[in-house]
Amino acid sequence: MDRNIISYFFLRLIQSIFSILGAVIIIFILSRVLPGNPAIAILGPKATPENIERVMKEWGLDKNYLEQFSIYISRLVQGDLGNSYIMGISVNKLVIERLPASFELVVFAFIISLIIGIPLGIFIAKKHDSKLDLIFSSTSILGFSFPTMLLGILLLLFFGLGLHLPVGGRLDPRYTIKVYTGFMLIDTLLNGNIAAFIDAFLRIIPPALTLAIPLTCLMVRFTRNSVLEVMMQDFVKTAKMKRLPESIVMYRHILRNALVPIITIAGLYFAVLVTGDIIVETIFAWPGLGRLIWEAVTLRDYMVIQGAVLVVSIIYISVNAIVDILYFYIDPRIKG
Amino acid sequence: MGELKTILSIKRIRYGITTLMILAIISILTILITPFKYDRITYNVHLPPLSSSDNIWPHIFGTDSLGRDVFTRTFYAFMLDISCGLAIVGISGSIGLVIGLIAGYLGGAVDAVLMRLMDIVISIPGFILAIAIAAVLGASLVNAIIAVAIVTIPIYARLVRSIVLSVKESLFILAAKEAGISGVRIIFKHIMPHIIPMFITQATLELSNAILYIAALSFIGLGVQEPTPEWGLMMSIGRRYIMEAWWPAVFPGIVMFLTVLAFNLIGDGLRDYLDPKKRFSIVKLI
């Protein structure tokens, strides 16, 4: 069985590498094959002739596409995403600066939706066909039809104007925090600054909730359905007939099996989080990758857009691969 | 006819259609008889909802940061966003249909190449890829439509291919092949009827996605440009002044939510109707 997992792991790894290569090719084609000078696309409409020449030389834009691609790939493999001529620094630096903020927000949102979604889903599954179940089943569609934009704006109004809590950004600028990990919630604690931690905590809640609410609705729905499905199976009936305590049946028999589809869904909806993240970071002025993409779009900085898109795609592909491997690990019945 | 009656007897579909009809009627009436022009800038900046105007109509949803009537703009945007959604679903649906049919029917190397291509597109989060495409093409409505259409092609291609594969080996197709009927005729006469119901269901669900995508692209500045009324753009501009006036951002959002919800309800209802396993429980539940 262990050998199976290892071979599956490598298979999935190779698959992911091909996916990433595909993403790289798409982004390369997008930037080169379209009409017009790619240097102008990189530099923006206000490009000076010297800069155009510099970029042409740097990326080998006067050579044929194959050579251009090999230059592009070799730079990428070295981890070089190029320079932003509009923002004036390297794209690598920009992305690395912004990544922890997005990571913190997305993970926080994910944890909220897991903590609320799974227990609530189990609770509703236990009471299936009750009034509560009926109400939830018929209203859960409301939850994921709710546009992130609207939800974000409403939460901004609620927390900012309604509750007069601090919203926008990660931390009040009057706190100076020494950066250790890049995660504000951890850094403020490491600095021993409790007031700053509370401020950072209050500021992460509205954007995290915006991401978490639709995801929670999905979690509840899928948990309910998959728990219900497992509950109807024979081995659960047997366990119940053996008079095993209900909590043991729930955790050992039902949940373990029900978790498999839940994990898949969690992985699939990571893409939803990524999409929502761009909107949410724009609304709440959260200085992460999503906000960086928005800033780059506003400045028409194609180098940054391209770099950020590539990084997000790689993260997305990796998360999906990890989820698949996890899936295989939990449920060895699945082969490839 | 009987089938239509059954479909309409599903409450979710009825609610969805009713919501859409109401919104569409309001939108048409607004475009026909509104005394306000959607792009006329006035001094009446940020008037709250229901405040009276120089005309017979009050500003039902208030005015925005340039003194334009939010109600008029929101319902002009309804028509624009629905048309964008239809255009996207039309383009990507028909391309996806052709790719799926070819890949599924021919199989072999053609299938492998086409499907790997689709895998690549699907391995990048749709919205991110749409941003990359729209950013290259330049910010405009048409480019945003193209970007979203490209990104959503694989959804249809995969769906159609899977249906083709499931019916390709059935006896009636093999019999038709034996009888010497041409491939094109087999596809249109014998395979298509199996595809259409699922395809329409998927397209309805994708319509709401397409609207959300277009609004999101406009929201970050890559879609529709001022002064064209579009929900995402209106919310994006309203957001800047959100602490002074909430209505220019919130009302377009609510109408967008209702529209998306309506399409989701219809799509959800259709899917349950087509899935006979679920049909019984749905009739019982709702």
pLDDT surpassing 90 at residue A70? no
pLDDT on residue B286: 27
Report how far apart the first and last C-alpha atoms of chain B are (Å, whole number).
22
Sign, Cα dihedral of B262, B216, B156, B142: positive
What are φ and ψ of residue A88, in 5° steps? 85, 10
- ipTM score: 0.85
pLDDT tens digits, A281-323:
999 988 888 889 888 888 877 788 888 888 888 888 888 888 7
**β-bridge partners, B51:** B59
Nearest to A86 by CA among A333, A307, A315: A307
- The first and second tokens of residue B278, run together, are 């679920």
Chain A (13-72) residues lying within 8 Å, Cβ to Cβ, of chain B: 19, 22-23, 25-27, 30-31, 34, 41
Please, which residues 118-157 of chain B have a Cβ atom closer than 8 Å to chain A? 119-121, 123-129, 131-133, 135-137, 139
Looking at the DSSP assignment, which residues form a beta bridge with residue B69? B63
Q: Which two tokens stand for residue B234?
A: 């209106």
Cβ atoms of B270 and B200 within 8 Å: the answer is yes
**pLDDT tens per residue, range A220-261:** 888 888 888 887 788 888 887 888 887 777 777 777 777 777
Mapped onto helix, strand or coil, the DSSP state of residue A166 is: coil
- Residue B114: which H helix or E strand, with range? helix B108-123
Residues of A in contact with B254 (CB under 8 A): 150
pLDDT score for B18: 93
Q: What is the pTM of this model?
A: 0.86
Residues 159-218, chain B, touching A (beta carbon < 8 A): 208, 212, 215-216
Q: Tell me if A151 sits within 8 A of A213, measured CB to CB.
A: yes
Contact check, Cβ <8 Å, A138/B285: yes
Show residues of chain A in contact with B285, CB under 8 Å. 134, 137-138
CATH number at residue B229: 1.10.3720.10
Which whole number is the average pLDDT over A49-69? 76
Taking the C-alpha atoms of residue A210 and residue A213, their distance in angstroms, rounded to an integer, is 6
**How far is residue B286's CA from residue B282's CA, in Å, rounded to a whole number?**
6
- B77 vs B36: CA distance, rounded Å: 14
Question: Rounded to a whole number, what is the largest CA-CA distance in chain A?
Answer: 82
Q: Residue B149: its pLDDT value, please? A: 94
The answer to whether the Cβ–Cβ distance between A309 and B128 falls below 8 Å is yes
Of the candidates B233, B78, B79, B208, which has an alpha carbon nearest to the alpha carbon of residue B152?
B208
Q: Which has more confidence, B156 or B275?
A: B156
Token pair 């366990």: residue:
A239
Tell me how far apart the alpha carbons of residues A210 and A146 are, in angstroms, rounded to a whole number. Answer: 10
pLDDT tens-digit readout, A252-278: 777 777 777 777 777 767 767 777 888
Distance to chain A for B265, nearest Cα, Å: 8
Nearest CA in chain B to A33: B136
* Cα first-last separation, chain A: 13
Angle at B17 between CA B13 and CA B19, to 5 degrees: 120
Q: What fold characterizes domain A91-334?
A: MetI-like fold (1.10.3720)
Q: Which of A:274-313 have CB within 8 Å of B?
A: 274-275, 278-279, 282-283, 293-294, 297-298, 300, 302, 305-306, 309, 312-313
B118 contacts in chain A (CB < 8 Å): none
3-class secondary structure, B61: coil
- Interface contact flag, B239 A141, Cβ < 8 Å: no
Q: Which residues of B touch A161 (CB under 8 A)?
A: 243, 246
Residue A254 CA to its chain's centroid (Å): 29
What pLDDT, on the 0 to 100 scale, is given for residue B196? 87
Conformational region of residue A175, where left means phi above 0, alpha means psi within -120 to 50, and beta covers everything else: beta
Per-residue confidence (pLDDT) for residue A25, from 0 to 100? 85
Cα gap A280→A112, rounded to integer Å: 16
- The gap from C-alpha B208 to its chain's centroid, in whole angstroms, comes to 4
Contact A309, A82 (CB under 8 A): no
Q: What is the mean pLDDT of chain B?
A: 85
Range of the domain at B29: 2-285
When pLDDT is averaged across residues A23-46 and rounded to a whole number, the result is 72
